Amino acid sequence: MIVLGIETSCDDTAAAIIKDVQCLSSIVFSQDSVHAEYGGVVPELASRNHIKNIFPAVRKSMEDAGVTVEDLDGIAATFGPGLIGSLLVGLEFAKALAKSKEIPFVAVNHLDGHLSAVHLLKRPVPYPHLGLVISGGHTSIFRVSGPGDYKLLGATRDDAAGEAFDKAAKMLGLGYPGGYKIAALAAKGDKHAIKLIRDIPLKGSLDFSFSGLKSAFRRHIEKNGIPTGRGIEDLAASFQGAVIDAILYRVRLAIGQEAPRAIVATGGVAANKELRTALTDVAKETKIDILLPPPDLCTDNAAMVAVAGKRKLERHELSSLEIEASARALL
């Protein structure tokens, strides 16, 4: 089965071709340079650039994979959640192509895409497992009992982990996107150097909250200024350590509650090297498996959408061409 995937939920225009569980091509047109001067994604600019990039991205994905539209067995596109203007570009393009060429179409939830990326590892995926989506827009833990069988266990009540990283970077004057810049500084610093408030979850809750940490970080800078040299490295490491501690606390709690056979982590923040190491250590401690897609499949991409779409096609869960984009689509 050859499937075209299209992903435009935020600011990356992505298209990919998969054949079964082999990724034949994965194209991502980044808009980082477009939004950098504003310190974050500007929805209107994002949608305009998707319009400019969507056809070249799809065309290049098919060229790189060596396939034509006639070879496609299905088309999958993200319908939500995300920025409504961005979602509309990819979704309507996919629907129009599917209609004009009479190709089966499936609409994919962005979170389903992230959680399906693990199947591109070409190895058995144990069930049930904990599915973590940790990104700029989401910090969620799911119990995944089988293909497409998700139960939300916990989610962020305010900022997502990736958003907190970007805001911390902005406070330090590092620019946007800032998550990887914080991580680079943190790799040289001491995460125990500065005590920053950790969020205190409700008893037994797996929900997250990063607003308190963000506020504590801001107060520290207002009181002490932006450090340089080893000081900024220690501050970045302390912030990153606080975010990772919050995630690990919930993971351990979820393992105790759900008795999963594995941990699966994806989303942009799941590309963070320190987090990947920490999750691997937790898996070893608890004697369960861990599956981590490579960083390029953790960040927003269309291969994950194509895989999720392929699984829906196999279950004969075709989508109506009347389906609409949804900024707050639930999984």
Q: What is the dihedral of CA 112, 117, 123, 125, to 10 degrees?
A: -30
170-190 tens-digit pLDDT? 999 999 989 999 999 999 999
Question: How many CB atoms are located within 10 Å of the residue 222 CB?
Answer: 9
The reply to whether 94 falls in a domain is yes
What angle in degrees, to the nearest 10, is found between the helix axes of 161-171 and 230-258? 170
Q: How far apart are CA 46 and CA 33, in angstroms?
A: 11
Record the pTM. Answer: 0.95
Q: How many separate domains does the chain show?
A: 2
283-316 tens-digit pLDDT? 999 999 999 999 999 999 999 999 999 999 999 9
Q: Which domain holds residue 183?
A: 127-296
Is the confidence at residue 167, as pLDDT, over 70? yes
26-42 tens-digit pLDDT? 999 999 999 999 989 99
| 99 and 198 both lie in a single domain | no
The reply to whether 329 falls in a domain is no
Residue located via tokens 């691997």: 280
| 197 and 282 both lie in a single domain | yes
Q: How far apart are CA 211 and CA 219, in angstroms?
A: 12
- Residue whose C-alpha is closest to residue 75's, from 313, 298, 323: 313
